[in-house]
Amino acid sequence: MNELKPGRGTARNRGDLRLAVFASGGGSNLQALIDATKSGVIKGRVGAVISNNSGAYALARAANENIPAFHISGKTHPEPENFIGTTLDVLETNGINLIVLAGYMKLLPPEVIRRYRYRIINIHPALLPKYGGKGMFGLIVHKAVLDAGEKISGATVHMVDETYDHGVILIQRTVPVLPGDSPETLAARVLEVEHRILPQAAGMFLC
């Protein structure tokens, strides 16, 4: 597998990226990535979608695009070594050279992180390092932002290491917190930013 390095440009003239997108829910960020491969923002394609949730709509989105899709979880693979082995087999078999966590509600095993070090990115719906860490996901994040009286929020794309929502920040974009916001309205505003910056960050990588 080729070494992958982040750079200022895209993968043009260097071989295409092949992404594995990990998602646990609806997969709107997955769709943003798929659309970005079609428009040329990302010079490559989504080569696999992995979810720990058999009911995730992200798996249906993958099927609609003829992308190999896999449900890998503690239910399908209760033994940790089997979970890790199957995940690595899927990544290797599909020639993956960039992992994108797009609403994946599980910490990647350290074995996967070591194998793909510096080739894993995550999108988080807040301005890290604030409002990150274990248990900070979905509407919980936005409620915490509102409870703290913040005037701005936003989204962050960062490199992934062995700690939740840790690692070098690649891109952050802000949104205003408006009077009368609920966690749901703030989440919708942040999600629009997520859909822009996650493909932008993936497009920074060179194959």
Q: Note the pLDDT tens digit of each residue in 127-164.
A: 999 999 999 999 999 999 999 999 999 999 999 999 99
Q: Range of 154's domain?
A: 5-206
Which single residue is written with the structure tokens 């009911």?
A: 55
Residue 25 and residue 165: Cα distance in Å, rounded?
18
CB 162 within 8 A of CB 110: yes
State the Cα torsion 112-21-66-62 to the nearest 10°: 120
Which CATH number belongs to the domain containing residue 56 in this structure? 3.40.50.170
pLDDT of residue 10: 31
Catalytic residues: 124
pTM above 0.85, yes or no: yes
Collapsing DSSP to helix, strand or coil, 41 comes out as coil
pLDDT in tens, 161-191: 999 999 999 999 999 999 999 999 999 999 9
Q: What is the DSSP letter of 8?
A: S
Name, in order, each residue with C-beta under 8 angstroms of 177's C-beta and a sequence gap of 6 or more. Answer: 145, 146, 150, 151, 152, 153, 186
Q: How many structural domains is the chain composed of?
A: 1
The one-letter amino acid at 57: Y
Kindly tell me if the per-residue pLDDT of 42 is higher than 50. yes
pLDDT of residue 15: 61
